[in-house]
Chain A
């Protein structure tokens, strides 16, 4: 379960949002370019520090301005898939997926088991020995997703995961996201421009405009999001 209330002064406006996402649910963040969507994700991930507010994940405090808590990025257990997938081109698909597991000092046997599980789950086992630089856009997104999920994160965040994908890849990546989030029973936040994606995959959606939530659509199981103002 994720609870977020953050305020951060940006160049042209102040980002001020409150979000709540239950386990196993997908919240879709929508809005124009520069509305504050990626800043929100980066703040939750710990790549940016909010000016005030707090971020709680499953009861643990990741950030709290009042008490000065700011857990480092690498300790937050958040799977973050960037818009351009950012798979490491010099590594094979298997090495990409194992990267986070090595960083977490997971022993080789368990590492191999987990890599195999996510290769199967994302249907990319046939690519395991292929260098990531040689993959198509859709394949890269699947690898990025498998890599993020293999660390068994407590939260999954996806920034425009369908941009640049063809229609077939979009459908299969959406199915994979839905299945994995449900299997791991973790909250998920997805940023997208397309209302169609929000309808297909989201349990609820928020629309951001100049740092504030201007619209929220809930579906069953989604507890709500709102702007403090």
Chain B
């Protein structure tokens, strides 16, 4: 009986610790305040910028990351372990440090940035910088998932397809991608969520220019000391989007299991 009470207490306390701050957000506002703040131009601008940049970042990560992860999994090459480590590095690197690193490389005086500036294409403190920061910080979520799912795929499927006359590209598009789609989509959803919530690298590398580089998390930060209701509304929006993402991942995971 004591064990049962102990277990219930443990589960309840952990759940409450995680859930209460989220619930508190919803109790701090009213539906009227929430919906009126939704029409605030700053909220609309931040929401639009966040969604547009996150979608672009995700598209870049999928288009480049999928074939990269596949080739990486199926090839043996010197330095593969180093590449593996580099893929994971942004996960443990503080985002602010990632932002500084990007600034040092692509800033106006940076190794690459100075040439880009000479060509009239400044990178730092532009919307492009927001996208680059999101890609840098969020891509490991997709790459790790893609690597794991490709590793689990029996090479006999690809080998069979090749003996049937299909070239490598056709094998990849018609066999590998459809067979791993569930896992890839769940990685993509997590990547989108991470890109949407990106703060540290963005503020260091892209700055905080409303309508240009001010994404939703940055707008929350700015409005906390000014227009608290706007900050609260954006926070609630981010919570709702995060919930939607987690539900999508859960549903995809269930679908994966039922396919297995």
Contact = CB atoms under 8 A, between A and B. Distances in A.
B15 interface: no
Give the dominant DSSP class at B's interface: helix
Contact of A148 (B164, B166, B167, B174): B164
Query: Among A45, A73, A151, which residue has the most Cβ atoms of chain B within 10 A?
Result: A73
A216 to B, nearest CB: 27
B259 A82 contact: no
B179 A100 contact: no
Contacts, number: 64
Interface stretch (A2-10, A53-61, A86-94, A163-171): A86-94
Contact of B163 (A78, A89, A90): A78
A147 interface: yes
Contacts of B170: 103
Contact of B160 (A77, A82, A89, A90): A82
A77 B163 CA distance: 7
A86 B156 contact: yes
B166 A74 contact: yes
A84 B166 CA distance: 20
A47 B165 contact: no
18 contacts: A47-B163, A74-B165, A74-B166, A74-B167, A76-B163, A80-B159, A84-B154, A86-B159, A86-B160, A88-B157, A88-B178, A99-B161, A100-B165, A100-B166, A103-B165, A103-B166, A144-B160, A148-B163
Interface of B: 154, 156-157, 159-167, 170, 174-175, 178-179, 259
Interface of A: 42, 45, 47, 73-80, 82-84, 86, 88-90, 99-100, 103-104, 133, 144, 147-148, 151
